[in-house]
Amino acid sequence: MIRSARLVLCMVTAAAVCGCGAVALPLRATSAVVKVVPVAGNVVAAPLDVTAGVID
């Protein structure tokens, strides 16, 4: 009984977070840190920005 309640709770939590900015937060933070690199920062950060945009 407790195991199925945990499973339901995990499924409800996953459904609530799905498509949310909380999932894209690590990508956005990494992109911001990478953009500081002078030469290749924007090139490396572009795929991260696109991926975070798709998640949102």
What are the pLDDT digits (tens) for 1-56? 677 888 888 877 777 766 667 778 888 899 999 999 888 888 989 998 998 888 77
Q: What is the model's pLDDT at position 8?
A: 85
Q: What is the model's pLDDT at position 18?
A: 65
Q: What is the model's pLDDT at position 1?
A: 64
Helix, coil or strand: residue 55: helix
Q: What is the model's pLDDT at position 19?
A: 61
pTM metric for this prediction: 0.60
Q: Under the phi-then-psi rule, with left for phi > 0, alpha for psi from -120 to 50, and beta for the rest, what region is 37?
A: beta
